[in-house]
Chains A and B, each alone.
Chain A
Amino acid sequence: MSDDRPELARQRDLDQVYEPAEDSHLLAETAREYVGEGDLVLEVGTGSGYVATALAKTGADVVTTDINPMACREAHEAGLPVVRANLVEPFRDGVFDLVAFNPPYLPTPPEHEFDDWMERALSGGEDGRAVVDPFLETVRRVLAADGVVLLLVSSLTDIEAVRKRAAAGGLSAREVADESHPFERLVVLELRPTEQ
């Protein structure tokens, strides 16, 4: 039981990369039912790589992104293909069968500035949707013809507002999983392209 160097290096990054929690678990369990052998899956904002690793076990090809360089390193060390990216910006049109995202969604007062990577992993700005909204505006482009998005949201984030934003982005939403916690209800929204 001796800690070697890589372990220590990981410890140093620990408080700068979001560790898997109830929300990660709910998203992983739900998303697993959607994918299988040969599917191409994107996990946006992979953090520790927990959800992506669970999905890779189904035989799906999983690609991950994060904006945080330390999270990218953790995903790379876990053997996951990783791209440092802002949301789905650097991906081609129509390629993914599934896009999964556990976004930062906690409403945060405006005077509380983003000052480190953990803050960025948690905070969704004043209304909790500072990251969710641009994601909903852009994600449809990278979906394959029968592609699906699974987005984790919280009752703290105003789920009805998220639905409306999704609709504006050409996606219809329905709840496919939920879990109640003392101060919030966690929900997985399934988003599918609407007819154009």
Chain B
Amino acid sequence: MNEDLLDIICCPLDKSELELDVRDRDDGEIVSGTLTCTECGEAYPIEDGIPNLLPPDMREETTA
């Protein structure tokens, strides 16, 4: 994902802002990391460049 996506995404549960923690970056793209809700503290994974913002009860392994 690109960092400017942060301007339009939010926590799917309470719509609060997300804090980005980058683990791995490739040529400007965030390949892996975590998005954490600044309100409820729920953490959402970024894997293979794709943020998974499904609510926790719908989340499952993204590797097929």
Contacts and interface: CB of A to CB of B under 8 A. Distances in A.
Interface of A: 13, 40, 63, 67, 69-70, 72-73, 76, 81-86, 89-93, 95
A78 B8 CA distance: 21
A86 B48 contact: no
Interface of B is mostly: loop
Nearest to A67: B54
B64 A70 contact: yes
B25 to A, nearest CB: 15
B58 A86 contact: yes
B48 A76 contact: yes
Interface residues of B, number: 22
A99 to B, nearest CB: 12
Contacts, number: 60
Contact of A92 (B15, B63, B64): B15
A91 B9 contact: yes
Interface of B: 1-2, 5, 7-12, 15, 48-55, 58, 62-64
B60 to A, nearest CB: 8
Given A69-B62, A69-B64, A86-B58, A92 B10 contact: yes
10 contacts: A63-B8, A72-B62, A76-B50, A81-B1, A82-B1, A84-B62, A86-B54, A92-B9, A93-B15, A95-B8
B12 A86 contact: yes
A73 B53 CA distance: 15
B62 A90 contact: no
